[in-house]
Amino acid sequence: MQSPKAFTLAAHGAKMPAIGYGTMEFPARPAELVAYAIRCGYRLIDTARKYGTEERVGEGIRASGIAREELWVTTKVTELDARETDFLRSAETSLKALQLDYVDLLLVHWPQPKVPFAETLGALAKAKRSGLTRHIGVSNFTIAMLEEAVHVCPEPLITNQIEYHAYLPQDRMLAALKRHGMILTAYCPVARGKLLDDPIVGEIAKAHGKTHAQICLRWLIQQPMVAAVPRALEEAHIAENLDVFDFSLSEEEMRRISALRNRNVRIADPPERAPKWDVETVA
């Protein structure tokens, strides 16, 4: 397997790994699994205040034996802390939980329509300027929200972390992010397992001697300026998800997988905080 360390995406001075390890909903041994992921070669670890895993992520980082400066740590501030004072306090609490001096990327986890974006994005920029984070971005923002965020934020945003997989079209969002020189970071990259039974994905996986998950992840990162943060709870799957840098999909294979987006399956759509999502027209 080629070293994943060389596979990074550049945006506004940031060099972010193309594949990260997601840490949402860990039922057991999260610290051990994080440490294992890092030893496998992951250099991006993705967490959030809302996940409740920051403490365990910090333990895993320390147990891995890998120097802090070699790692990229992402965390997020919940929409409940969208006010400036609350936002900055949340960021500081995250650092204490992680036992880190800074994170590499701090995100607004979900948009908060009850608080002006200028205030929340201003607080995000202040977190960067005060050294709490090296880079900043947003998550679960629609195109209109992204445009406003870019406009009002005093510092450049490097990513929008959103649901993206072969069953969910994001063509318009990809175009918008491209205009702003930003990365699309994909969560739920295998549609919470729904793509693991897809016959087209299976046919392509068999041709390459790879698994369904590896084909789905390769399809994502083979697109320009797309990263992915898959979650895995077994060591074999953790290693498997990173083993996607020693092959490429053909243009025809990419096209066949992309055609699956007419399924238009959305996994993450919590009614209490999800915005009105963009409508994508699938050709």
Q: Could you give the residue numbers annotated as active site?
A: 51
22 vs 240: CA distance, rounded Å: 14
Residue 15: count other Cβ atoms within 10 Å of its Cβ. Answer: 12
Task: Answer whether 97's CB lies under 8 Å from 54's CB.
Answer: yes
> How many angstroms separate the Cα of 206 from the Cα of each of 141, 166, 248?
36, 18, 14
> How close are the terminal C-alpha atoms of the chain, in Å?
36
Task: Answer whether 38's CB lies under 8 Å from 66's CB.
Answer: yes
For residue 168, what are its two tokens?
């969910």
Nearest to 38 by CA among 13, 16, 67, 77: 67
Task: Answer whether 49's CB lies under 8 Å from 132's CB.
Answer: no
Nearest-5° angle of CA 262, CA 256, CA 199?
85
